């Protein structure tokens, strides 16, 4: 693998950069595979962590995160029903460092409003959802429509109710001044940090592309910045090695906004390199694949010193309507008795959203295009609920709902949206489970069964390993 000379030259003098070992690790062909487990679903698994170890070749823990694991080889994830159940997310190890930024700069037990501004496909968002408290809010925004669908799919599978997925331009957040306590910008970048995984991307790299990315990063940050409250935390990251997208962006931020750079403690054994920007001496954290088990990554953290607190002004005409008492009575038996949620109508659909976040939902609905909010419970046909797939994936689901357990082969048939045979099942709606985790719904009718797995998410590949 030949790396661009212009990149190698631009990195001379960057702390932690060693041209020989950097080139050698790119040439080695070594691949690192890692996953992050969903703690809310791991708790439900039939054999806890053992269920993971059966389907995944876990070889060790990622030291800067609590639920991240290295795998000794890359399995065919598609053929693991646990992936489709939202039990884990396949994610690059270095990028899980966002956990340190969150834990070290915030009180994660407090009620926080978090915005993930560049969210698709959802690696950081699913991670953030696992880190925040149940009465905190995560708004996951993705500007590109097709990518917003993938983001929504991954967050639905993750199952958290305190999430709103939006599909807006960063400039649309101007109406939400001072609303968020945390702003995460995992910016689109020139991507040099991922070349070991995607060597074909090397050909697209150029110093000019780096400049364009740097300008775009500044525009995104400037558009989102007003939405962060005074005292709020800004987390900025890229998967680029270029100073123009990393340290120079930190200097640009410090020059243009009232920010304090926040240091993050790292253990020397992790191999993370602490750097400081040349002008403002802002702290940054560089990940080099020849220094640790992970890909190229960069992260920095700031506290906002200007701005104000958010003041809630109820809008005169809310777009959202609460479900009626009769509708709520039909739906509540499907939810855990302690699910403290408000039910809302969105056209035909009913959705469940944490009751303590009612104001937040109203504010977001007033200003943004919502793809999904909380858990889509389903549609009511009279007093009967037609349950949505999101309800099956949700951690709010009533645990005593009728369920059938499938072995791996049948679970894969189900996920292909093909016929599965379920002997002796009672007629009506039933959950399909694998290792005690819900995969979706079936409706059992006399002599046949309807598979309600979402068509667009079904497994298209044949085989099983």
Interaction site with ligand SAM (CB under 6 A): 118-124, 142-144, 147, 170, 186, 188, 216, 220
User: What whole-number distance in Å separates Cα of residue 454 and Cα of residue 391?
Assistant: 12
CB of 95 to ligand SAM, least distance (A): 6
Residue number closest to ligand SAM, CB atom? 123
From CA 380, how far away is CA 373, in angstroms rounded? 18
Are 438 and 157 in contact by the 8 Å Cβ rule? The answer is no
Rounded to an integer, what distance in angstroms lies between the CA atom of residue 224 and that of residue 219? 9
What is the separation of C-alpha 108 from the centre of its chain, rounded to a whole number of angstroms?
17
Q: Report the distance separating Cα 432 and Cα 392, nearest Å.
A: 9
Minimal distance in Å, beta carbon 34 to ligand SAM? 13
**CB of 299 or CB of 357, closer to ligand SAM:** 299
Which of 188, 271 has the CB closer to ligand SAM?
188
According to DSSP, residue 400 is labeled T
Buried b (16+ CB within 10 A) or exposed e, 168-195: bebebbeebbbbbbbbbbbbbbbbbbbb
Give, for 441, the enclosing helix (H) or strand (E).
strand 437-445
Nearer to ligand SAM, 99 or 142 (CB): 142
CA–CA gap between residue 41 and residue 43 (Å, rounded): 5
**Cβ closer to ligand SAM: 154 or 277?**
154
Cis peptide before 121 (omega within 30 of 0): yes
> Any idea which residue has 């940050």 for tokens?
221
Tokens encoding 409:
């082969």
Q: Which residue, among 178, 204, 200, has the nearest Cα to 190 in the 3D structure? A: 204
Nearer to ligand SAM, 186 or 246 (CB): 186
Task: Please say which residue, 121 or 160, places its beta carbon nearer to ligand SAM.
Answer: 121
Token couple for 36: 């992050």
Find, among 234, 224, 228, 222, the residue nearest to 106 by Cα. Answer: 234
- Closest approach, Cβ 120 to ligand SAM, in A, equals 4
Q: Which of 6, 144 has the CB closer to ligand SAM?
A: 144
Closest distance to ligand SAM from the beta carbon of 93 (Å): 13
Cβ closer to ligand SAM: 121 or 159?
Answer: 121
Of 183, 180, 256, 181, the residue nearest 218 (C-alpha): 256
What is the nearest approach in angstroms of ligand SAM to the Cβ of residue 241? Answer: 14
For residue 96, give both structure tokens: 């899980």
Question: How far apart are the C-alpha atoms of 427 and 281, rounded to whole Å?
Answer: 67
Give me the least distance between CB of 192 and ligand SAM, in Å please.
13
CB-CB neighbours of 215 under 10 Å: 11
CB of 253 to ligand SAM, least distance (A): 16
Compute the least distance from the CB of residue 89 to ligand SAM, in Å.
9
Q: How far is the CB of 18 from ligand SAM (least distance, A)?
A: 26
- Tell how strand 180-186 and strand 228-238 pair up: parallel
Name the phi and psi angles at 449, rounded to 5.
Answer: -145, 135
Q: Which is nearer to ligand SAM, 185 or 339 (CB)?
A: 185
Name which of 184 and 250 has its Cβ closer to ligand SAM: 184
* Maximum pairwise Cα distance, the chain: 73
CB of 299 to ligand SAM, least distance (A): 12
């Amino acid at each position: 693998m030949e790396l661009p000379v212009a990149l190698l030259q631009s990195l001379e003098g960057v702390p932690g950069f060693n041209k020989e070992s950097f080139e050698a690790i790119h040439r080695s062909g070594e691949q690192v595979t890692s996953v992050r487990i969903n703690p809310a679903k791991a708790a439900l698994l039939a054999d806890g962590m053992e269920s993971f170890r059966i389907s995944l070749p876990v070889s060790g823990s990622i030291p800067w995160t609590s639920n991240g694991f290295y795998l000794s080889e890359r399995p065919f994830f598609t053929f693991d029903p646990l992936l489709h159940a939202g039990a884990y997310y396949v994610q690059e190890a270095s990028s899980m460092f966002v956990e340190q930024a969150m834990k070290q700069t915030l009180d994660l037990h407090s009620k926080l409003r978090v915005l993930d501004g560049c969210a698709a496909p959802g690696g950081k968002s699913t991670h953030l959802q696992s880190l925040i408290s149940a009465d905190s809010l995560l708004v996951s925004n993705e500007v590109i429509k097709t990518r917003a669908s993938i983001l929504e799919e991954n967050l639905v599978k993750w199952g958290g109710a305190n999430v709103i997925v939006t599909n807006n331009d960063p400039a649309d957040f101007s109406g939400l001044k001072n609303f968020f306590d945390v702003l995460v910008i995992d910016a689109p970048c020139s991507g040099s940090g991922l070349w070991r995984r995607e060597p074909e991307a090397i050909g697209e790299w150029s110093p000019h592309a780096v400049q364009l990315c740097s300008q775009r990063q500044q525009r995104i940050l400037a558009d989102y910045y007003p939405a962060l409250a005074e005292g709020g935390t800004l987390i900025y990251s890229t998967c680029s090695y270029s100073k123009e997208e990393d340290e120079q962006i930190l200097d640009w931020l410090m020059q243009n906004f009232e920010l304090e750079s926040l240091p993050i403690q790292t253990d020397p054994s992790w191999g993370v390199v602490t750097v400081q920007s040349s002008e403002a001496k802002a702290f940054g954290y560089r990940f080099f694949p020849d220094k640790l088990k992970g890909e190229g990554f960069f992260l920095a953290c700031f506290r906002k010193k200007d701005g104000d607190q958010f003041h809630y002004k109820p809008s005169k005409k809310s777009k959202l309507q609460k479900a009626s008492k009769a509708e709520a009575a039909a739906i509540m038996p499907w939810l855990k008795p302690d699910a403290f949620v408000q039910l809302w109508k969105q056209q035909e659909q009913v959705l469940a959203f944490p009751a303590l976040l009612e104001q937040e939902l109203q504010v977001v609905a007033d200003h943004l295009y919502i793809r999904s909010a909380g858990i889509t419970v389903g549609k009511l046909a009279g007093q009967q609920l037609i349950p949505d797939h999101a309800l099956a994936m949700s951690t709010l689901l009533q645990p005593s709902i009728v369920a059938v357990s499938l072995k791996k082969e049948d679970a894969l048939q189900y996920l292909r949206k093909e016929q599965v045979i379920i002997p002796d099942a009672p007629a009506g709606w039933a959950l399909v489970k694998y290792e005690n985790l819900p995969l979706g719904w079936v409706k059992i009718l006399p002599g046949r069964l309807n598979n309600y797995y979402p068509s667009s998410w079904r497994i298209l590949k044949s085989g099983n390993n």
